[in-house]
Amino acid sequence: MTKLKAAITGVSGYAPEYILNNEELSHMVDTTDEWIMTRIGIRERHILKGEGLASSDMGSEAVKLLLAKTNTNPEDVDMVICATVTPDMLFPATANIISDKCGITNAFSFDMNAACSSFLYALTVGQKFVESGTHKKVIVVGADKMSAITDYSDRAVCPLFGDAAAAVMLEPTTEDIGMVDSIFRTNGTGRHHLYMKAGGSQYPATHETVDNKEHYIYQDGKTVFKWAVSKMADISVEIMEKHNLKPEELAWLVPHQANMRIIDAVANRMGLEKEKVMINIERYGNTTSATIPLCLWEWESRLRKGDNIILAAFGGGFTWGATYLKWAYDPK
Ligand code: UT7
């Protein structure tokens, strides 16, 4: 029997309208455009405004666009995985809510949380279902409303994050294209350096947790930075070596967008010139689960069938990984 592979057959994205730029931030906390651009490389980020709006509202916009672009009837979708660290609520899963908002009624849906590596982990789970032959149309959507857990009085964290969603369709193919391989790692000692303390079962919400600002992101930036640079670079080089990929054979690196300096360091270690690196951090900031598919969406018209692409991420947990794929289609 011919071996099935899983290929991305469409991409889409959604960023909310409101743009919070560094100038506005500098009136909220003691910071400057110069500091943020030099240390992080972010000029502006999109923020979802509006009472009751959540990650699923952005995720469903991205999925509706994906269904339209790929001419997919929502009832033909077999599975929806939502990568998110900011689910609408602890349960039910945001993937279920997105499915409902998009008329997807014959799928099973669930969320995955591996912090900033969520999208890559979810993509690989989807890949395995497609390769097994049991599922033919799998949607992986990364959706994060990071503004919901960002303390806009903490200058060390608030410039970093933005809100967005982006989605891909995975379908089977027998051609030599699509998802090839992934390498993932987790190191739980990292949980002390990047987390949101309260709101889970360990510290359920109380007046005290709210007063202590424990429903916001805590990050020991320096430690996370060091780990991110070394682990994201190590694993990206590891997947290149495993598949005998030389820098000149790679068409694109799609790195998680957390800090321009991290992206530069990873590209350098891989021996890649900047022209081959997808970078949109300046306009979106770190949208956590959405960064990688958002890049694919923005670069879609420049991708060619057969392009060798490496996706790489690092996030809280710590979690990190690299995925190697061959792009499956020319611009439509
Ligand atoms: O996606 C998940 C993974 N997350 C990441 O990959 C993020 C990794 N970490 C980072 O990107 C960086 O550590 C940050 C961008 C968060 C911080 O940059 P840094 O170069 O590590 O700065 P720092 O925290 O060491 O702070 C340096 C100085 C401090 O002042 P002093 O103590 O030297 O006087 C900070 O108080 O910069 C100060 N500072 C700021 N100044 C102006 C911190 N935040 C700001 C700010 N504006 N927004």
List per-residue pLDDT tens for the chain, 332 residues long: 679 999 999 999 999 999 999 999 999 999 999 999 999 999 999 999 999 999 999 999 999 999 999 999 999 999 999 999 999 999 999 999 999 999 999 999 999 999 999 999 999 999 999 999 999 999 999 999 999 999 999 999 999 999 999 999 999 999 999 999 999 999 999 999 999 999 999 999 999 999 999 999 999 999 999 999 999 999 999 999 999 999 999 999 999 999 999 999 999 999 999 999 999 999 999 999 999 999 999 999 999 999 999 999 999 999 999 999 999 999 98
> From atom 19 of ligand 1, which residue's Cα is the shortest distance away?
222
Residue type, 153: S
> Best of 22, 29, 225, 287 to mutate for ligand 1, by most ligand atoms within 8 A of CB?
225
**Catalytic, out of 22, 113, 286, 295:** 286
Question: What pLDDT, on the 0 to 100 scale, is given for residue 2?
Answer: 79
DSSP assigned state of 268: H
Q: Ligand 1 within 6 A of 289 CB?
A: no
Question: What pLDDT, on the 0 to 100 scale, is given for residue 332?
Answer: 83
Active site residue 116: yes
From the CA of 31, give the closest atom in ligand 1.
47
CATH number for the domain formed by residue range(s) 5-176: 3.40.47.10
Q: Ligand 1 within 6 A of 258 CB?
A: yes
Active site residue 244: no
Q: Ligand 1 within 6 A of 290 CB?
A: no
Closest CA to 90 of 238, 211, 215, 239: 215
From the CA of 32, give the closest atom in ligand 1.
47
Distances (CA, A) of 319 to 34, 231, 245, 303, 310: 30, 9, 24, 28, 17
Is CATH 3.40.47.10 correct for 179-326?
A: yes
> From atom 2 of ligand 1, which residue's Cα is the shortest distance away?
315
Question: What pLDDT, on the 0 to 100 scale, is given for residue 1?
Answer: 65
**Catalytic, out of 116, 135, 158, 295:** 116
Q: Ligand 1 within 6 A of 127 CB?
A: no
Separation between Cα atoms, residue 232 and residue 33, nearest integer Å: 27
Q: Which residues contact 115 (CB under 8 A, 6 or more apart)?
A: 85, 194, 288, 315, 316, 317, 319
Q: Could you read off the pLDDT of 101-142 as tens digits, one per residue?
A: 999 999 999 999 999 999 999 999 999 999 999 999 999 999
Active site residue 286: yes
User: How far does the chain reach from its first CA to its final CA, in angstroms?
Assistant: 30
Handedness of CA 263, 269, 275, 276 (dihedral sign): negative
CATH 3.40.47.10 domain span(s) along the chain: 5-176, 179-326
Q: What is the pTM of this model?
A: 0.97
Closest CA to 266 of 282, 254, 283, 250: 254
Q: Ligand 1 within 6 A of 230 CB?
A: no
Separation between Cα atoms, residue 144 and residue 114, nearest integer Å: 12
**Catalytic, out of 135, 193, 256, 259:** 256
